[in-house]
Amino acid sequence: MALSIAASTHTAPKKAAAKPKLQSPKVVGAAGLIAVAQRQLEQGNLEAAAEYANAASGKAPALQDYAQYIRAQAEYGLKNYSEVAKSATRVFDQTPVSPFVGETAALAVRADLDGDSPKQALELVKKYFEKIPQPEADLLLARSFEATGDAPQAAEYYQRVYYNYPTAKEATDAASALVTVQQKLGEAYPPPTPSAMLTRAEKLIEAKEPAAARIELAAAIPQLGGVQRDLARVRLGEVDYLAGNTGAAFQYLTALKVDESEADAERLNYLIHCIRKMDRHGDVKPMLEHLEQEHPASPWRLEALIFVADQARVDNDPNTYLPLYRACAATFSSDPRAAWCHWRLTFESYRKDADDAYDQLRSQIQQYPESPDANDALYFLGRLEERKGDDASARACYDQLIERFPNTYFSTLARERLKDPKISAATANPSMLEFLRSVKWPPRNEFPSFDPGEEAAQRLSRAHLLEMTGLTDFAEGELKFGARNDADQGNVYAYELAKMAVARASPEQALHYIKAYSPDYLYMPLDQAPVPFWQLAFPIPFRGSIEQYSRQQGLDPFLVAALIRQESEFNAKVISHANAYGLMQLLPSTGRQLARHFGVRRLTPSQLLIADRNVQLGTYYFRDLLDSYGGQTEVTLASYNAGPGRANLWRTWGPFREPAEFIETVPFHETRGYIQIVLRNADVYRRLYAGTVPDVPAYRPKPAPKGKHRKKPVRRSLSSSLQSQHGSRSRSPLSERARS
């Protein structure tokens, strides 16, 4: 059941910052001319669009930039290039800064080029270069240089587009232009740098286009030398591996000889990947030893150690993975990835009650406080203190965990532990407090205000006016622009965007907006944001179906809602890459089997996109899994995510003193995180919805920031040379996949 706009409005403090003023009917009517102008533009009625936009500009000055942007487009289509410039100037002069500055500048540059005013175009593109989206900015600069007769500079910027943005449509335009420029310059044509050529191939690898990357590398190798040539030759094998041609990659990389040290380390790393994929496990250890002998400190060795160790965890082979994690933690202790290796050793000691478990847990917290596993370590340190009978130290650990990681699975466990009378009655141990205070925890910004400052209030007012005229895309664009550029107010814009989405019955989009524009929201304690904000972040649409079928199956409806939030984010029509359908992400084959229980003989896949049917079948499936695992929710979630076969295997890896130990033993990073997230979600849902009023502390509002707080743009230097960000990369696209 979607929240209403009214339900999503929090109570303002007595001295609240200025709120957007309600617009008079006259202003709303004037702004409606913008909607008419936009409609005329979309229909190709350019003269009418320009006329309506011009009228709107005078009658709705608060939205003059919208009107003038529409007019500029219409005048450009009519080839009235001088009028485009006039409209552009009014967009540039808008206060607050218009979201259309970049797009309008690009349009004005094109108008100058088409109107045979290349010098004016060059001046304009230089002035607004940082505002125009890439790669359009580089392409327009190249065209302006070419039009003014500066072919060498044009070549440089066409090359920037072609090599840095190979999958963009502008790359095709740049490629065509480069042919002309090269013919014009002849021997004076500046050849692309080796780094640029490698960058293009690397970008294609990142875009999951290994075949295209292979073509680029093969063409580049004859033109390269030294380090770049060695790197390119190694990556020929890599793209074969990424394309699934493991045997070909193995043969090629085995025969390949390179001189450059890091290139050879990269080659050996990929050979190890090939060997593991080919199930030649016996050959892995000698290859790792060779990599250690030849390149002991190479980051490629670190990647290989983690990859093989993680794979060995999947095989439950501690004799293999423990020495590898140990080598990783010892040799690369300053690398952030070493935190993972150290944690695997630490948890192994904890599970086995090893003599060094206490020191290992403290070391994990002290050495790697920025690691995502720091909150795991805090929890298990508290549990270890409990087993030792030191409830006061356990209390200190749990308090710190809740304070630093308020909305995590382990913080929910810590709150449960604090309900134990012995622990709740204990006073935090001063010695443990001293240790925890000595940890260099990562600094976090103060939690921001949910009241709009001066600029945010202006943007909210403009967005509401646009929304009332039916220009929803423009309204949301205004808020998105503010979120990207108005520092410390991202959550204000996210909140407003989410309310707009819910108003048009799109709770899944509301959730997306909060994640996108208030990305640190889970670091906030629940009393740092209004309850309606949390209800937008943790919505419960289709509540009637969820409660009805959960009740029929004896399930906690908030656990089901939590699972749906993670599976589909409440998008009833979503179909995954794995062909899973709807809210609870059911495969059609599974859905057909489940439907028979309800007397449905012919269930079509499209029926799984009906929310009510999907929840009916999904809850029945979850209940069946839960029963098969003796009511163990954590194992059931593992099965739901990774499949019954894997969950059945992992549960034999015990004994486990508590469910948290089982979760921490799961070798799939995705599944381990999935279980924790769903259980965390369920806890938040219960606190928000289980009672007649939310079971959360009262919201503590903060005053809006004063003055303007601009986010610093990422500067793009016009004079910078073509440099590859990946020409000497230390990590590959495999790095993250190796841990998932």
State the Cα–Cα distance between residues 617 and 591, nearest whole angstrom: 7
595 lies in some domain: yes
> Is residue 444's pLDDT more than 70?
yes
| pLDDT 10s digits, 399-422 | 999 999 999 999 999 999 999 999
Q: Judge contact between 646 and 668, C-beta under 8 A.
A: yes
Q: Number of folded domains in the chain? A: 1
Count of alpha carbons within 13 angstroms of residue 442, beta-carbon side: 11
Q: Judge contact between 142 and 161, C-beta under 8 A.
A: yes
159 lies in some domain: no
For the domain that residue 548 is a member of, what is the CATH number? Answer: 1.10.530.10
| pLDDT 10s digits, 689-707 | 999 999 999 998 888 887 6
567 classed as catalytic: yes
Angle between helices 409-417 and 669-689 (to 10 degrees): 60
End-to-end CA separation in angstroms for the chain: 34
427 lies in some domain: no
Structure tokens at 239: 């793209």
Instruction: Choose among 728, 710, 707, 688: nearest CA to 7.
Output: 688
| pLDDT 10s digits, 20-77 | 554 555 666 778 999 999 999 999 999 999 999 999 998 989 999 999 999 999 999 9
Angstrom CA distances, 93 to 37, 63, 64, 187, 701, stand at 21, 12, 10, 45, 34
322 lies in some domain: no
State the Cα–Cα distance between residues 33 and 530, nearest whole angstrom: 36
Instruction: Choose among 94, 82, 92, 54: nearest CA to 70.
Output: 54
pLDDT for 26 equals: 62
> Is residue 8's pLDDT more than 70?
no
598 lies in some domain: yes
362 lies in some domain: no
Q: What is the DSSP string of 349-373?
A: HHHTT-TTHHHHHHHHHHH-TTSTT
358 lies in some domain: no
572 lies in some domain: yes
Containing domain of residue 677, as a range? Answer: 543-689
Of 303, 476, 567, 634, catalytic = 567
Q: Count the Cβ atoms, other than its own, within 10 Å of residue 629.
A: 18
pLDDT for 24 equals: 56
| pLDDT 10s digits, 704-731 | 887 665 554 444 444 432 232 223 333 3
| pLDDT 10s digits, 633-683 | 999 999 999 999 999 999 999 999 999 999 999 999 999 999 999 999 999
Task: Please give the average per-residue pLDDT across 611-616, as a whole number.
Answer: 98
Q: How confident is the model at residue 164 (pLDDT cuts 50, 70, 90)?
A: very high
pLDDT, mean over the chain = 91
